Amino acid sequence: MKTTAASAALGALAPAHASAEAPPQPALQRVEPPSWWVGMAEPQLQLMLHGPGLAALHVRMSAPGVRLLGQQRLSSPNYLFVDLELAADCRPGRIDIQLHHPGHDTPLLNLSYELQAREPGSAQRQGFDTRDAVYLLVPDRFARAEPAVAPPAMRESRVQRSQPGARHGGNLAGLREHLGYIADMGFTQIWPTPVVENDNPSYSYHGYAATDFYRVDPRLGSNEEYRALAVQARQQGLGLIQDIVLNHIGDHHWWMADLPTPEWLNQWPSYTETHHARVTWQDPHAAPSDQRRFSQGWFTPNMPDLNQRQPQLATYLIQMSLWWIEYAGLSGLRTDTYSYSDRDFLSRWSARLMREYPRLNIVGEEWSGHPAIVAYWQRGKRNHDGYVSSTPSMLDFPLHYALIAGLKEADQGEGGIYKLYEALAQDFLYADANRLMAFEGNHDTPRLYSQLNEDLDLLRMAWGYLCVVNRIPQFLYGSELLLTSPGQRDDGQVRADFPGGFAGDRVDGLRGRGLSPRQRTAQALLRQLLNWRRQTRLVHEGRLTHYAPLQGVYVLLRHWGAPGSAEARQGERVMLVLNKQNQDVALDLRRFADVLGPGDRAHDVLQGGAARELGRTLTLAARSTTLLQLAAR
């Protein structure tokens, strides 16, 4: 199977002009980016023009504030790359670009290209940060608005909700209908899995095998609907994070029928898959061939690996990322398979994005349980090899693994809850641990509730921890309704339909109908935690002090000022206590005198009731999560 897929992909590398037939009549079929904006920090813009015979033409243009820098051709006769420079005083409007046969004055083709005005404050847009809580969802599986618009003919159009790997029919209109539910739950950011076209014969629902980088998948909606989603989300207090893939495409991407150059993809004599050894970039003993295979090996046979060392492709990917941020008004990007792309390209890509949007946030996926590996890719890290990244955030996989192990394992020696403590203690490895995104689960991992053996007490500990720890918390859609999955990776089951998102659903979490008592309890708990967190500045910006676990009890405090200072002991504080023991515990509070003091009054966030004065001990119920908010004194 791999050999066949590889042969088909490599066959697509043959230059399109190998045919002995007469050259076709030139025609303009695609222009990418489809539009641009004046007033960007970087004045240069490169247009990719595609159509039969375009490489044989020459460009002429004259437009105020726009200078033609040149044009470039690659091996395919059907691409022309046009380099422009936009002056600081360039005004919005359409510019005319003429394509001529060499030596002819009469234009053969005319392109009217739009330069738009940026939204006020666009460059200073606020990206997501520790004030936010992120809701990750799969649009195909979240909700379907009826009547759904029938998409054009595509390779996989049939809706088969009974098949885990098929399309289930969710759409952007369905998501828009239920933005109020997401906001009411206390979330402030939405991260949908990729929405761009994935016109592949199967498994096209997840979005990670693009066939057109500039088009929203018609089965989800249109570009205009996506932009409307962002606008409507902002009206609900929700930002929109776009999931972008820089490393690979789908094997039915329109490029594959006519590559601009064979170097557009990473090529091998026969199909060669990445070995997923992420540590090769940091390994001082790594063989160069191992580094090459990790970065240039294909992700799967049907996901051709892009060669970001190719200059025009690198520029294309940078401009594509910027285009979506500006077009849709995004609050940030999540970058899939981050470290698999060319390392130098990632440095250039992240620097350009942060130059255009200094307050934007980007979170990269580095699926490693080692903090030193994740830290390597974060902005501000002083790396041993001099590598410089401008990406502000990374997904905190080390803390994710520690959370599961810390709650599941027995509390003996350095096992159990100690692993969670130890993972957080390694924050010294990060340039800015507060910008990391901590998560209870995502679309690639088994459901947390299942990993915790459907233990609601342990789930309560996990959620409480994520809402108090110094991170940006992210939750997977349906977690609040206790969705389950196999313990081992099973994408179709993990990405199950959201109950109530589709007509005829018996259980409706969006409207609170048909839920079991445990589901109601879990949904209410997460709503309570997130809405409390949203209005508690201390857990967004305060310092964190935690204490080594003793006998299965782990204590974290958020406070202002250094531990032991008057500010820390007398200001507002938050105290989280996780008791994994199967019995009640009388916790001696004298141990926490760095932050606590006589006369402290505390409000129990989860239990409610009037604030009470803390005594010498705090009684903890067996297997409990205690969250206290202490008033300043």
| Residues ≥6 apart with Cβ < 8 Å to 610 | 603
In angstroms, the CA 492 to CA 444 distance is 10
Q: Is a pLDDT exceeding 90 seen at residue 474? A: yes
Residue 225: partners with Cβ closer than 8 Å, 6 or more residues away: 172, 173, 176, 216
CATH architecture of 29-117: Sandwich (2.60)
Annotated catalytic residue: which of 365, 440, 497, 600? 365
Q: What is the DSSP string of 20-72?
A: -SPPPPP---EEESS-EETT-SS-EEEEEEESTTGGG-EEEE-BTTEEEEEEE
18: pLDDT confidence band, cut at 50, 70 and 90? very low
Q: What is the mean pLDDT of residues 607-615?
A: 91
Q: Please, which pLDDT band fits residue 20 given cuts at 50, 70 and 90?
A: low
Q: How confident is the model at residue 619 (pLDDT cuts 50, 70, 90)?
A: very high
- 240 in helix, strand or coil? strand
Strand order from edge to edge, sheet including 36-37: 36-37, 109-116, 93-100, 58-61
Terminal-residue alpha carbon distance, the chain: 69
Per-residue confidence band for 1, with pLDDT thresholds at 50, 70 and 90: very low
pLDDT at 9 over 60: no
Q: Contact 558/539 with Cβ under 8 angstroms?
A: yes
The one-letter amino acid code at 626 reads T
| Alpha-carbon gap, residue 96 to 113, rounded angstroms | 6
Which residues does residue 508 pair with via DSSP β-bridges, in sequence order? 513
pLDDT at 149: 76
- Between the CA atoms of 448, 453, 457 and 463, what dihedral angle is there, to the nearest 10 degrees? -10
Q: Catalytic residue at 541?
A: no
Active site residue 365: yes
Taken as a whole, the chain contains a residue count of 633
At 490-539, the pLDDT tens digits run: 999 999 999 999 999 999 999 999 999 999 999 999 999 999 999 999 99
Question: Comparing 148-152, 269-273, 366-370, 466-470, which segment has the lowest mean pLDDT?
Answer: 148-152
* Among the listed residues 460, 481, 471, 461, the one whose alpha carbon sits nearest the alpha carbon of residue 397: 471
Angle (CA) 264 266 272, round 5°: 150
What's the pLDDT at 7?
38
Q: For 279, phi and psi rounded to 5 degrees?
A: -70, -10
The enclosing H or E element of 363 equals: strand 361-364
Locate 281 and state its tokens: 């970039």
CA distance 472 to 493: 26
Q: How many helices (H) and strands (E) does the chain have?
A: 17, 26
User: Which of the following is catalytic: 336, 411, 440, 497?
Assistant: 336
In the chain, % of residues over pLDDT 90? 92
Quote the pLDDT of residue 214: 98
pLDDT at 4: 33
Environment class of 142 (CB within 10 Å of its CB; exposed 0-12, middle 13-18, buried 19+): buried
Distance CA 430, CA 372 (A): 8
Q: What angle do CA 125, 130, 135 make, to 5 degrees?
A: 85
Fold of 543-630: Immunoglobulin-like (2.60.40)
Q: Where in the chain is the domain with CATH 3.20.20.80?
A: 127-535
- 127-535: CATH number: 3.20.20.80
Q: Which two tokens stand for residue 67?
A: 């200078």
Residues 6+ apart with CB under 8 A from 34: 214, 323
Query: Which part of the chain has CATH 2.60.40.1180?
Result: 543-630
d(CA 325, CA 172): 18
DSSP 246: -
The arithmetic mean of pLDDT across residues 467-472, rounded, is 98
Residue 21 pLDDT grade (very low, low, confident, very high; cuts 50, 70, 90): low
pLDDT of residue 3: 32
Instruction: Give the pLDDT confidence of 269-318 residue by residue, as tens digits.
Output: 999 999 999 999 999 999 999 999 999 999 999 999 999 999 999 999 99
Residues 6+ apart with CB under 8 A from 423: 371, 398, 399, 401, 402, 406
The CB-side HSE value for 175 (13 A sphere, CA atoms) comes to 31
Q: Is the peptide bond before 33 cis (omega within 30 degrees of 0)?
A: yes
150: confidence class by pLDDT, cuts 50, 70, 90:
confident
Q: What is the rounded CA–CA span in Å between residue 178 and residue 271?
A: 44
Over 50: is that where the pLDDT of 15 sits? Answer: no
Tell which residue, 91, 43, 66, 593, has the closest CA to residue 352: 43
User: Would you tell me the crossing angle of helices 311-328 and 223-235 to the nearest 10 degrees?
Assistant: 50
Query: Contact 40/75 with Cβ under 8 angstroms?
Result: no
Asked whether the beta carbons of 575 and 631 are under 8 A apart, the reply is no
Are 218 and 152 spatial neighbours (Cβ–Cβ below 8 Å)?
yes
* Average per-residue pLDDT for the chain: 95
Rounded CA-CA distance 544/468 in Å is: 9
Output the pTM of the full model.
0.95
Mean pLDDT of 542-566: 97
Domain with CATH 2.60.40.10 in the chain: 29-117
Q: Which residue has the higher pLDDT, 1 or 301?
A: 301
Residue 6, pLDDT score: 38
